[in-house]
Structure formats: C-alpha cells, structure tokens
Structure 1
Amino acid sequence: MSWHHTTTLAVLLLALAPAAALDAQEPSPELPDSAALRAIDAYNTADIRMVGASDIAIGTTLEGSIAVLDGPLRVSGTVQGDVTVINGDLEMLAGARITGSAFVVGGTVSGDTAAVLGGVVAYPEPLRYRFEGPGIARARRPVRAVITAGRDFAFGRTDFLAAVYGGYNRVEGLPIVVGPRARLGHSNPTVLEAHAIIRTEKPLDFERYGWILRAEQYLGGRRAVSFGVRARSEIVAIEDWMLSDLENSLATFLLHEDHRDHYRRQGWSIYLRAHHPQRPIDAMLEYRDERHRSVRAASPLSLIDNGKDWRHEPAIEEGTLRSITLSLAYDTRNDENDPSAGWYVRGALEQAIDGELALTPEAGAVLGPDSTDSHFTHLQLDVRRYLRFSPWSRLGLRVFTAGSLDGDALPAQRQHTLGGEGSLPGFPLFTQDCGAREQVIERNNDGAYPFYGCDRLALVQIEYQASFPFAGRVGDRLGLDLDLARAIRWSLFFDAGRAWIEGDSRAGRSRGADDFFADTGVGVRIGPLGLYGAIPITGRGHDFNFFVRIGQRF
C-alpha cells in the first residue's frame, strides 16, 4: 500500500476519535461505575433538586430525598430522607440532622457526620455528566484513537502504542507515533516512553522521522505530584487553540485548507507536575532547552485542489531558546465533549531566559536584524464559563487573551493571529496578522512569509444554544421515536477580537487592528456536527460564511 493510500485510510479514521496525547499526564482515577450509577439515579428520582451552592437553614425541615448538583450543600436544618451531593462538598453544621443516608461524589463530608443517621459514603472523584431532558446521564472522557498491545505484570505494565500525533497537516502529512511505554509500580509509578514519529510526507529540508523520550516519577501515593524529563524532536503548530486536531486534519485532507502554521523544535526539558486529588486543578513548572527551525510545506494528498500549491509557511526566529514555563488548569466542566455547566480555565506563562534566536537573513531584510530578542515574556489565558438555564438551553462565554506581557516584540513562533472559523468566522483566515502575509520572501528556493502575526490578542466569544423540546412531546403524542429531534439544537453566537502590536515594537510590521472586529451568526447542531453561518458586523469580512464544525465551537 502506498504512502498516499495509507494517508487516506488513516485520515478517514480520524473521524472516529481524537488523537492521543501520548506524553500527557497519567489520567486521574475515574469514579467507579457503581457510584456513578447511584448518583445519577438519586438525582433523576429525587423529590427535591438543587443546583449550585445550597443551604438548608436552621429550623428548616425538608421531607423527601434531596439531590444537589454542582454543590456545595450546607446543612443546619433537618432533612427527612436521603441526601446526594454531586460535584460538591457536604457540610454538616450545628443543628443539622439527616434521617436517611448521605452520598457524595466529587467532594468531601465535614462536620457532625454522626447526625447522618443512615450513614455517609463519599468519593473524591467527580462525576462527568450530561443533561438528557430533565435528568442527567454519565459522560465519559473522550475516547482516544490509540492502537495498543500490552501486558500486566506484578511490577506494572508494558505496552506498545501506535497513534496519530497531532493531526494531518501540509508539512508532515500524517504524523504517526509508535513505540513502547512501561509503567513500573502502582501507587507511585515510574513511566518510561520511547516513541518514534513517522511522517507520511518527507519534509523538504530535514528527515522524515522525529522522536519523543520521557521518564516520569510519581510521588505522594495518589499520583498527585510527579517530576520528569523528556527529550523530543517534533513539528508543532504555532497556534493550535482555534480548531481541534480533528477539524484541522479534515480541513487539510478534504479541502486543501490547513488553518495552522508550524515550526520544528528539538531539545529537552525537566518538569514538576502537581494534580489536586480532590479538585480539578493541575499545575506544571517546566524548564526547556530547545532549538527552533523554520519548516516548509510538502505535498500531502488532499481530495480537493490536490494539484494546487499549499500556502507558504512563515519564517521564524531560528536558533536556541531556554525558557521557564508555568502552566495552570482548572476544569469543572460537566462534560468535556459537550459542556453545559462549569468552568474551564487554562493559563501559561513563559519567560525566556537565554538563547540565540535570530531572524533568517531574508526576514531580517524586511523586519530589521534587531526586531526581537531571546528574553521575551509571553502569557496565554483561556477562561470559559458554561451556564445551564434550563434542561433545553445553555450559554457559553469565553475570554481568550495572549501575547507579550511587557509589550516587547515576540519571535514569530510566539506571535498570534485572528480570523477564520476557529476565532472570527465572519472574517477570512488570518484577517488580523499585522501584515505578515502581504509579501512573500525567498528562502532556500522556496517562498515564505517574513513573520507570523501580532504580539497581542484579545477575543470574546458568546454562544447561546437551545433545543426543541416540543419535538419530543409531539413525537410522544404521535407514538413516534424522535430521539434525533431531541439531539438537535439551534445556536446564536457573537465574537469580537483584536490582534495588534505596540508602536515601539513594530519593526517593519503593521500596527494591526485599531479596534475590535465583530461578527455574529446562527447555527444548527445535530449531535457533534454543527452547521453555521456568520456575517461581520464591523470591519471588512465575508458577506456570508457558511461553515461546519465538529464538536463545540469552544
């Protein structure tokens, strides 16, 4: 089978599941199935339901079973029945009394537990759930597309893994990672990995293969803390937050539209990770020593416009970079795939401390030789809030900001852009790139853009979704099964964003947008498939842009 045929088959398989992050932290323990089923049944059949922080005041008596979703619950009064708290703490204060049992998942129980006459059972692991009509159902973690063969031993487990690494793109084709993994020990395992990255397209200016090596040691008995070292040679996207790997892979393979630009990094890092065993909080501190290089587009297969040249890649600042990165994540979403409640917050601060990054001579002729240095400070912050108004409606809010913390110029591999279906769908891809794609420079007998984008970015996204509850009722009256109709939701969204450069840091680049660009649109979601239309309401954009998304917009 040829490489092109292999690529075609593998990319189509991407539609079944997202790619695996093989060097990610070991997943935290899942809530046992028996506990999840008990919590879901208790909520769906409860006489009294509460959502969010709740109180039962002193002197108050409630009769019947009570279920609290996304607590906590503070009890000072009396409950004549069972109490269930999902993803929150139960606090028994002075005067509290529960005649039945208390069941808690995703939290703890504190106070006078002797006042719970039917006994207390608590699990620290949270319940991932989704709404189904007036009730809830379990939502599991996304299934990862990994082919694995392994065996358990008394000392741990060994596996041989194969998976898509990142996604299909115009530089590598389809990168596939293969290699062994060993997990030695149980409560505090040592994880060893050695993986090769095989690219279906041979890049034009370096070898077909990359690699990832990792050794990580867990501490604390519950995998709460770990430290490790890793070395890697890989091609990475400059920005990957707009579209998922699956969406960008399919756009590249089907439509000849790669929405990302790339660079190559090779080096090593040492890191310390911390994960709260009872709270959805993760943190990592990492020191990196890397060498960065520009890349060029190859000739991967696409079903449409296969004979057309691919878009140029930007020239980046090449050389060595040593930096320290602190990343934090807080995730209380009820469902990773289709969230309707909770918070998602992720931030990363990178301080470059040393190195010798330099523009290529061709890019330097456009920007000037001293346009950047190797001591930048870069911040990226993504804050999302999901609110459920009713069993049939929800609201998603997102604020995303990134860029130079002190206003100084950033190297191209840390710059930012806006425009396209992943950020401002009412505007073309790279609408806000501070003039990066207005000219093409010659580099190694090929074209390249002199830089990637802007130094700062701010984006606000709002989306309201609602289902059609009447469809289910009509079907019930007619004796028809309209489960598909229940899965359809309509959407109304608004986006506003700006990417820019501070005046003192322009160095041959345009300033960028003076004000926010905004768009609005409507859509229909059928399960994970979203059909949308967007129009700009400020600036110059599409007259109307119809587009398809797989999964949530954010």
Structure 2
Amino acid sequence: MLKQINLLFLIILIAVNFSSIQAQDELIVPIKKIEKKAKEKYFKNSDAKVFRYENDTTIENERELDGNLLVVKGDLKIAGRINGNVLVLMGDVHILPKAYVNGDVVCVNGKIFQDEESTVTGNQIETKVKNLFPYRAWEEEYFASHRSSGEESCRIPYSMVPAKSGRKSVILNYNRVQGLFLGIKIPKKISGKYKYINVHGFLGYGFKEKRWRYQLEIDRWFFNPREYRFELGWKTYDLVDTHDDWLISPWENTLSAMLLHKDFQDYYRRKGYEFFVGQNIGRHLKARFGYRSDRYRSVLKNTDWSLFYGKRKFRENPLIEPGRMRSLYGEVELDTRNDLDVPKKGFLVRISGESSNSKLRSDFSFNQYEIELRHYRRLSRFDRLDLRIKAATSEGTVPLQKLYQLGGISTLRGFGFKEVRGGADQFGGDRMLLANLEYNISPEILDFDFLFFDDLRYIIFFDAGNVWQRTQVSGQDSWSAGFDHLKWKDLKSDFGLGITSWSGRFRLNIARRLDTGKKPLAITVRLIKPF
C-alpha cells in the first residue's frame, strides 16, 4: 500500500512540475502535427508538388522550382524562382535580390525579410504555431504539458516578444531542507500595454521546514514594450535560496532528490527587499541595475526521505556566513539565441557585477564580477558546435554563499559533484574559469539508416576549468590579481560522449577525467540541456 501511495505521489509530482512549466510561456508542440496543420491551411488549394527540406536551405539563383516549397526547422534563403507557395516552420525567410516567388510566403514562428529588388506575387504572412489550431484544441491538447516530449520547442524569449497574459500555476518542489514544498505562483505578465502595472510572485509552505515562504514583486513598464521597454520595480521576499540554479533547474533537482536520493543544490535563507530598473534596447540587448537589502541565515537538512535508495542519506546542508548584506548590482545581456532552453544558433553575452561595503551599512565588503559567453554555431545541416566560457573574479572578502565550486553536472562532467573547490580544505573559490565545448552531430551525416537511432543525436564534449582563492597565489586585492600563475596544467579537464534526443533536452553523458587514469567513468542523465 505504501509503495502505491509513493507511486501516486510521484505521478502527481511529475504532472504538476510539467504543468507549471507552461506558465513560463513555453509552447511545446510535436513538429509533425505543426507540419500537418500548416500544410492543410496554406497548401489546401494547391495540387502542386511539394518540395520538402529540413534545416537551413538555400534556393540558388540559377534554380527554379515548379511547385510548393516547405522548409522545416531551418532558415530559407531564396535567390532563384519558385512557382508556388512557400511555407517555413521554425525559421526565417530571406528573399534575396532578383528572387521571384509566384505565390504566397508563410513563416510560422519566424520572420520574413524581403529585399526590395525581389518579387512576391502573393501574400506574406508571419504567424505563430498556436494560430494553426482551434482555441479549444490548443488549450486541451497542445499547450505545453509535454515539456519532456522531446519534440520541437516553440519558445519565445521573454525579452523579445510580449505575451498577453500569464497563468496561475502550482509550485511543487522537493529538497532536503524544506522537504515537500507546495505553493501557488502568479507568473509575470508580459503585456503589450506599456502602462500596465504588473503584480506577481508566489506563496508556499515547506512541510519539513514548517515555514511559509513568499515573494511579491510589483513593476511597471514604460515606452515601447517590445523594442525599448523601460521597467521600474520593487520586490520583497523570504526565500530558501540557492547559488546553484545555473547547475540544475529546480524541477530537475526535485526529481533527482525524490527518485535518486541526490540533492544537487545547497541552500540558505534570504529575506529582504530590492529596487531595480531595467532597459531593453531593441529585441536582444537589455540591462538591469538595482539595490538589494538581504538578511542571510543558514538552514539545516530536515529530511532524508526518498522514494528509492532509502538507505542513502542526503548531504548535510553547508553553513554560510550570516548577516545583513546591502549591495548594488548590475547586469548587461546581449542575447540572439533562437531558443532559451535548447538553442541551436545565436549567441549570449552576459556581464554582471555586485558591490557590497560598509558605506551601504552592510556586514560584508566585496565586489564580485562575472562574464559569460555562449555561442551556437551550425556547421551544416547535420552538425553544430556549442561553446560556453564563464569566468568570475572579485575584490575584498567574498562570503561563503557567494563562492564557486565546479564538478559534476553542467560544469566538469568527469568529476564528482562540487569536487573542484580550490583545495580539499576550501569551501570554494573567489576566482573561476570554465569552458565547455560540444560537437553535436546527426547520424544523417553518414547518409544511411540507423533504424530508430536516426531520432537521436550524438555529442562529443570537452570541459576544462578550475576555481581558487586569490590569497593562495597573490597578495594584491584587485579584480585582475590571481590569474598570472595560471598554466594549462592548473586546469581540470575531462572528455566524454553523449547521446541526446533530437530536441537536445534528454541526454546520457559518459565522461572521463584527463588528469588521472584511476578514476572511474562518470555517467549522468540530464533532462535539460546544460547550457
């Protein structure tokens, strides 16, 4: 009976976690259903032959197609002549000089760019996936309850396109500090009405911690909400927070803690308030600056329960440096990625900093800086390079809860979790360097069938990085100090292979450290792309 109750609880957990993802305006629809609906709508009055292509496609200037053209999951460049309709799904259309389209051009979840010296005799239509389906069918069957389906994502980044409304959603998390955490969330609404005052946040209860937690945020937009949105905001909160969200998402960590008895995040209590201003410049560049006043406290492990591996014990939650932290922070981000969760092209540059000192009446005195670069480069229809470089440095004395550790999922995949922390006797480092390189390849590049393996992609990856304390190598207290000693041999590195679903969400990684032959292979399963 107990096992049946546990299984039912697990099913509810997974269902609620997946349903909560829909509140983030992520629309997941199987690509085959999108294609079927689009062809029914835009090719229905034509008996012409359909030329179908996948990924990036170019119609050269000497080429002429007599029929309809369909491109799936890629951009289309037209330099030649097409005697029929053009339909592109999940990509952009570039109609180059002298190109001629004798029909309509339709772009689903993309943009149409036409040179003034080109010709299109029919209509040009830019639309979204949800417009292909009747409202009731979309709501009941297709609206993002299948994040883990492995199909194509129709995600639109928050900073780019305003949506009309958010949805209330249930929060269901599990960790070793709060145990089961249940709450209700009012998501942030991204409205096209720039005079809109937005109230959002959450309220929830940790059953093992036996405390309520909350966040309330109020903000207002000014000017054009799509291109040049200016935002003023304030929020107050009492959270069990973590510095590890960049390593693993909360819902993925919840499943790991409940099923595998492994909690990959460390926690502390953060209570306070914040004022901030934000500015978008175009669709890709945005900046945010603000002031925080937080009270930090340590929290303890309160549970050892897991559905499986009952004999295991969770790690003790590490202590932090308690106190009042008042700080100024800023972040500038340039983001051209085509998708936030599983990007396949574009780049991200993010520069951020935080300053806390006695002039702000803070108990801490430090300056911390981070820079991150991600680039996704498609080499052909069948392979792609993904690169991430992340670095951090500081001045002053950085508190324990702000230090860095590497190792395990999302960082150095051949190493143990947070194994690289600046020495065996160190909690973490105030300097960090990390590089991740992935070569993503489709079996179609070999031009013969692999049965069901054609639905998978294969990854060769390499990771390198390290963390350390400035005081270990330099007596100077500046952001640039502590790097001169670095040599290649000082970096920890690993090499590995991965198998992933076509969408890139699910993957199995097998990694091996390169600094020793004595360590076993590290095998990890992920439900989200690591970067």
Return the TM-score normalized by structure 2: 0.71
2:374 aligned with 1:399 = no
**Aligned equivalents of 2:409, 2:40: Cα separation in 1:** 36
Match of 1:464 in 2: 440
Match of 1:295 in 2: 299
2:424 aligned with 1:421 = no
Contact 1:523–1:530 under 8 Å retained in 2 = yes
CA-to-partner distance for each residue in 1:401-445, whole Å, 9 max, x for gaps?
A: 1311x565533222211111332222112221013x63xxxxxxx
Contact 1:351–1:378 under 8 Å retained in 2 = yes
CA-to-partner distance for each residue in 1:143-202, whole Å, 9 max, x for gaps?
A: xxxxxxxxxxxxx989754213xx422222233332667979873443223532311221
Match of 1:444 in 2: none
CA change 1:338–1:264 in 2 (3 A) is: same
Q: Percent identity?
A: 17
Deviation at 1:313, TM superposition (A): 0.7
**Aligned equivalents of 1:104, 1:34: Cα separation in 2:** 12
The one-letter amino acid paired with 1:216 is: D
2:200 aligned with 1:193 = yes
Alignment of 1:348-367 (within 5 A): 348-354=351-357, 355=360, 358=363
The one-letter amino acid paired with 2:300 is: R
2:465 aligned with 1:497 = yes
CA change 1:124–1:486 in 2 (3 A) is: closer
Secondary structure of the structure 1 residue equivalent to 2:38: helix
**Aligned equivalents of 1:325, 1:219: Cα separation in 2:** 20
CA change 1:306–1:214 in 2 (3 A) is: farther
Contact 1:296–1:312 under 8 Å retained in 2 = yes
CA change 1:345–1:474 in 2 (3 A) is: closer
Contact 1:410–1:455 under 8 Å retained in 2 = no
**Aligned equivalents of 2:5, 2:437: Cα separation in 1:** 38
Correspondence for 1:347 among 324, 332, 350: 350
Correspondence for 1:47 among 30, 51, 56: 51
Secondary structure of the structure 2 residue equivalent to 1:239: coil
Match of 2:368 in 1: 377
Correspondence for 1:233 among 222, 229, 238: 238
**Aligned equivalents of 1:550, 1:281: Cα separation in 2:** 29
2:493 aligned with 1:518 = yes
The one-letter amino acid paired with 1:162 is: V
Secondary structure of the structure 2 residue equivalent to 1:174: strand
Match of 1:98 in 2: 101
CA-to-partner distance for each residue in 1:63-103, whole Å, 9 max, x for gaps?
A: 3355666547475x65444445553353554x454322233
Contact 2:279–2:288 under 8 Å retained in 1 = yes
**Aligned equivalents of 2:4, 2:240: Cα separation in 1:** 23
Correspondence for 1:244 among 232, 240, 249: 249
CA change 1:90–1:500 in 2 (3 A) is: same
**Aligned equivalents of 2:187, 2:529: Cα separation in 1:** 32
Secondary structure of the structure 1 residue equivalent to 2:303: coil
Secondary structure of the structure 1 residue equivalent to 2:174: coil
Match of 1:213 in 2: 216
Secondary structure of the structure 1 residue equivalent to 2:490: coil
The one-letter amino acid paired with 1:295 is: V
Return the TM-score normalized by structure 1: 0.69
**Aligned equivalents of 1:221, 1:36: Cα separation in 2:** 36
**Aligned equivalents of 2:215, 2:166: Cα separation in 1:** 17
Size of the alignment, in residue pairs? 476
**Aligned equivalents of 1:332, 1:246: Cα separation in 2:** 23
Secondary structure of the structure 1 residue equivalent to 2:435: strand
Match of 2:139 in 1: none
CA change 1:73–1:353 in 2 (3 A) is: farther
CA change 1:125–1:283 in 2 (3 A) is: farther
**Aligned equivalents of 1:215, 1:23: Cα separation in 2:** 18
**Aligned equivalents of 1:7, 1:217: Cα separation in 2:** 44
The one-letter amino acid paired with 1:399 is: R
2:461 aligned with 1:455 = no
The one-letter amino acid paired with 1:543 is: P
2:410 aligned with 1:433 = no
**Aligned equivalents of 1:255, 1:158: Cα separation in 2:** 33
CA change 1:173–1:409 in 2 (3 A) is: same
**Aligned equivalents of 2:234, 2:279: Cα separation in 1:** 15
Contact 2:301–2:317 under 8 Å retained in 1 = yes
Match of 2:147 in 1: none
Alignment of 1:79-90 (within 5 A): 79-84=82-87, 87-88=91-92, 90=94
The one-letter amino acid paired with 1:552 is: K
Deviation at 1:267, TM superposition (A): 1.8
Secondary structure of the structure 1 residue equivalent to 2:175: coil
Secondary structure of the structure 2 residue equivalent to 1:240: coil
Contact 2:81–2:100 under 8 Å retained in 1 = yes
CA-to-partner distance for each residue in 1:187-241, whole Å, 9 max, x for gaps?
A: 3443223532311221xxxx71221111233444655524322111112211222
CA-to-partner distance for each residue in 1:335-374, whole Å, 9 max, x for gaps?
A: x6655x313525240231544555xxxxxxxxxxxxxx53
Deviation at 1:23, TM superposition (A): 10
Deviation at 1:12, TM superposition (A): 5.2
Match of 2:64 in 1: 62
The one-letter amino acid paired with 1:413 is: Q
2:180 aligned with 1:174 = yes
**Aligned equivalents of 2:60, 2:414: Cα separation in 1:** 48
CA-to-partner distance for each residue in 1:106-159, whole Å, 9 max, x for gaps?
A: 2244443883222322349999xxxxxxxx9753449xxxxxxxxxxxxx9897
**Aligned equivalents of 2:120, 2:418: Cα separation in 1:** 60
Contact 1:175–1:200 under 8 Å retained in 2 = yes
Contact 1:275–1:282 under 8 Å retained in 2 = yes
Match of 1:118 in 2: 122
Contact 1:419–1:430 under 8 Å retained in 2 = yes
Match of 2:170 in 1: 162
Contact 1:356–1:374 under 8 Å retained in 2 = no
Contact 2:366–2:396 under 8 Å retained in 1 = no
Contact 2:237–2:272 under 8 Å retained in 1 = yes
Contact 1:315–1:451 under 8 Å retained in 2 = no
Out of 247-256 and 526-535, give the one that drifted further: 526-535
Contact 2:464–2:493 under 8 Å retained in 1 = yes
Contact 1:316–1:411 under 8 Å retained in 2 = yes
Unpaired runs of 5+ residues, structure 1, are: 128-135, 143-155, 359-372, 439-449, 476-483
Deviation at 1:281, TM superposition (A): 5.6
The one-letter amino acid paired with 1:530 is: R
**Aligned equivalents of 1:387, 1:176: Cα separation in 2:** 41
2:268 aligned with 1:263 = yes
**Aligned equivalents of 1:512, 1:298: Cα separation in 2:** 41
CA RMSD of aligned residues (A): 4.8
CA-to-partner distance for each residue in 1:268-289, whole Å, 9 max, x for gaps?
A: 2233445678x56655444333
**Aligned equivalents of 1:285, 1:29: Cα separation in 2:** 33
Unpaired runs of 5+ residues, structure 2, are: 44-48, 132-149, 157-163
